Amino acid sequence: MPIGFSKKLTAHATPIPGVVLYDLPVHGDNRGWFKENWQREKMVALGLPDFRPVQNNISFNESAGTTRGIHAEPWDKFVSVAAGRIFGAWVDLREGPTFGAVFTAELDPSQAIFIPRGVGNAFQTLEDNTAYTYLVNHHWSADAQGQYTFLNLADETAAISWPIPLEQAELSDKDKAHPRLAEVTPMPPKKVLVLGADGQLGKALRKQYDGDASVEFAGRGEFDLGREDAYAGRNWTNYTAIINAAAYTAVDAAESAEGRAAAWAVNVTAVARLARTAVEHDLALVHVSSDYVFDGTRATHDESEPVSPLGVYGQTKAAADAVVSVVPRHYIVRTSWVIGDGSNFVRTMASLAARGIEPSVVNDQIGRLSFTQDIAAGIRHLLETGAAYGTYNLTNTGEPQSWADIAADVYESRGKPRNAVTGISTEEYFSGKAAAPRPLNSALSLDKIHSSGFQPRNMKEALSDYLANPLADTHVPATRGVGSRDGA
């Protein structure tokens, strides 16, 4: 059968999600033919995942009827015919509703097909001297074979109509021994790794992903971001994303010599290691940033505003943002005034109200609370919807308030008069104290996160829900350190 010359580069969807068949332009004359088997710019523009291939393999088959498969490997592959013609069969062996779905097609050198991780690949040669090529995005190793998933070529459920009956075809003994579909263990999806899983945001992410086996949680004991061996000890090919919920947030302590070193170690050096890991293994990296990267001189801060931090903590967060921004697949999630399960401003005010204390609270810092429940839901939304990579402001919605206004709301919810809270300026409050400079205006524009399809709760509604929890009255010292997120 002659090769189809002069086709346009075209993508064709198949019944298996992620499996796409491509027509390739082949140019020929009396000398033979030439094709661009892989052309990253054109193919990515057409919708092919930019899967970053690292190895090219060729399977040469001397006789028609040679049949290989069905092998689902733990990596993506782009396969095509270099010479000859094949009948290809692909079976979805991934966990999920399309497990067992089948697609077949004849391929000559003018076609190629993209096969995602976990989809079984098989082919039967229809001509002598056929060469079948694989472009894959992970290096083959003997250890990786333990992660393969196999299906028998003669499986009755898949019911593949082989052009040359299998009893007349050339098969390996190993392929003959593969299990039927009912005995196949589906290939699980790649995992999302949550670091800093014991802090306020980490606990909210645990609740957000409760029951989802594809999300793995690691506190400092399981993964110490400051230790090189923590990175070397993982098989990163099993992951698709990292959510970094760990941070040094002791804003005032960061101004000391010891605190400054600790803040840079956790917020920058460790994040740089994560960024390098994400780049090397093509992982999405979710990094949580802060309103402290701004000086607070604008009424509202959007994602395009240049950073201008006032203190050491803000400087480390701004530096980390710059590091993460070079990761091709990144989400920088910028928050302010974070409230969750742990020490925070709202709990402190609820405890003071319960004890009848009338506090003086800063009234010239303006912003919005960010409840960890909403931050966690927003992060999940970005990852699961495949939102455009980049920076997103993510706080609760509503009219920005001062800390004193929020404290008065807490007191009112506890049956105390609002005027039990006395407003005081930042300068007065910190007079004579060692304290970091703070942005006076922390209100973040939410237009971008809204346009992505995510709508956080209103700040007052979220505050009411939070205060309905009896633990909100628990007195917790307002310490801020590694592994927690309070954003103050």
270-321: per-residue pLDDT in tens?
Answer: 999 999 999 999 999 999 999 999 999 999 999 999 999 999 999 999 999 9
Backbone dihedral angles phi then psi of residue 429, each to the nearest 5 degrees: -60, -40
Residue 19 lies in a domain: yes
pLDDT of 328 reads: 95
How far is the C-alpha of 383 from the C-alpha of 387, rounded, in Å? 7
47 with 118, same domain? yes
204 with 171, same domain? no
pLDDT of 482 reads: 25
Q: What is the mean pLDDT of residues 44-53?
A: 89
Residue 461 lies in a domain: yes
178 with 224, same domain? no
Could you tell me the CATH number of the domain that includes residue 423?
A: 3.40.50.720
Better pLDDT: 51 or 302: 302
Q: Grade residue 4 by pLDDT with cuts at 50, 70 and 90.
A: low
Out of 22, 134, 292, 392, the active site residue is 134
Per residue in 165-188, pLDDT (tens digit) is 999 999 999 999 999 999 999 999
* pLDDT exceeds cutoff 60 at 202: yes
How far is the C-alpha of 454 from the C-alpha of 396, rounded, in Å? 11
Per residue in 401-438, pLDDT (tens digit) is 999 999 999 999 999 999 999 999 999 999 888 889 99
pLDDT of 422 reads: 95
Residue 30 lies in a domain: yes
Q: Grade residue 480 by pLDDT with cuts at 50, 70 and 90.
A: very low
pLDDT of 296 reads: 95
Residue 485 lies in a domain: no
Q: Which domain holds residue 432?
A: 191-473
Question: What are the Cα distances from residue 394, in Å, to 60, 192, 203, 289, 294?
Answer: 53, 20, 18, 10, 15
How far is the C-alpha of 1 from the C-alpha of 283, rounded, in Å? 42
236 with 174, same domain? no
Could you tell me the CATH number of the domain that includes residue 109?
A: 2.60.120.10
Per residue in 118-157, pLDDT (tens digit) is 999 999 999 999 999 999 988 877 666 668 899 999 999 9
pLDDT of 294 reads: 97
164 with 306, same domain? no
Output the six-digit token pair for 86: 């094949």
Residue 482 lies in a domain: no
Per residue in 326-385, pLDDT (tens digit) is 999 999 999 999 999 988 999 999 999 999 999 999 999 999 999 999 999 999 999 999
210 with 170, same domain? no
What does pLDDT average to over the chain? 91
323 with 354, same domain? yes
270 with 160, same domain? no
Number of domains in the chain: 2
* pLDDT exceeds cutoff 50 at 487: no
- Where among 148, 183, 218 does a domain terminate? 183
Out of 12, 22, 27, 71, the active site residue is 71
138 with 196, same domain? no
**Whether the Cβ atoms of residue 242 and residue 193 lie closer than 8 Å to each other:** yes
Residue 70 lies in a domain: yes
381 with 307, same domain? yes
233 with 352, same domain? yes
Catalytic, 178? Answer: no
Residue 283 lies in a domain: yes
Catalytic, 209? Answer: no
Name the percent of the chain lying above pLDDT 90.
Answer: 81
- Where among 165, 183, 201 does a domain terminate? 183
- Where among 183, 199, 219 does a domain terminate? 183
230 with 213, same domain? yes
Residue 481 lies in a domain: no
pLDDT of 379 reads: 98
